Structure 1
Amino acid sequence: MIRDLMLECVEKRFGASRAPHKVQWLSDNGSCYTAKETVEFAAWLGLESCFTPVRSPESNGMAESFVKTFKRDYAYVHDRPDARTLFAQLADWFEDYNERHPHKGLRMQSPREFIRSLATAECPI
């Protein structure tokens, strides 16, 4: 299932089955992510497997916060009778999360709004 997600991410982002350049794939140290077959498949896709440090609550906290928010604001409020239905909705959920969902740490802007505001801000130097 993780390998399916990796492939779908690469296809969605790059329109091809392999990334045109090395892209980091950050995950925790769960066995599904660290399995030799998964790491090799990631490399074949052009993904560099990166893992949060073991026993590092700071780095793992960001990932867990994202998962908690995503479950609360998307998965729990939509119909998801089976895995196929859930996967069919993921692209729209990620698009909403990145384009419209306000984030407290980004001054109540979505990630893309925040990035656009940085691009248009005048340099103070």
Structure 2
Amino acid sequence: MKAVAEMLGVSRSNLVNRLQGKAKPRRRYHKAQDAALVPLITALVAARPTYGYRRITAILNRQLRSEGLAPCNHNRTYRIMKAHNLLLARKYCERPQHIHDGKVIVMRSNLR
């Protein structure tokens, strides 16, 4: 058991608990209260498709406070938006390689 634990990089107690069935496997995130927030977030994203999860959270919290409800954490908004594919696409851009293949001409040395 010790050799297996060392190879996997986990503690022996963790392996023992898993073998005995004491440790429960982790489940996906799910809260019953999220079902009430999904239509609100979906409506906000449809109205403002360029807004990220932080701006959506700010607008959502303004809406919730005006209705007298508890505000929503930005981490929770991110999880809901990620689960329903409402997040913005990540920006990927190719950066040009600056290649110096010549002599730099300056008036005199130590001159910027």
Query: What band does the TM-score fall into relative to the shorter chain?
Result: under 0.3
More helix by share: 1
The TM-score, its normalising length taken from structure 2, stands at 0.23
The TM-score, its normalising length taken from structure 1, stands at 0.21
Greater RCO (CA < 8 Å, at least 6 residues apart): 2
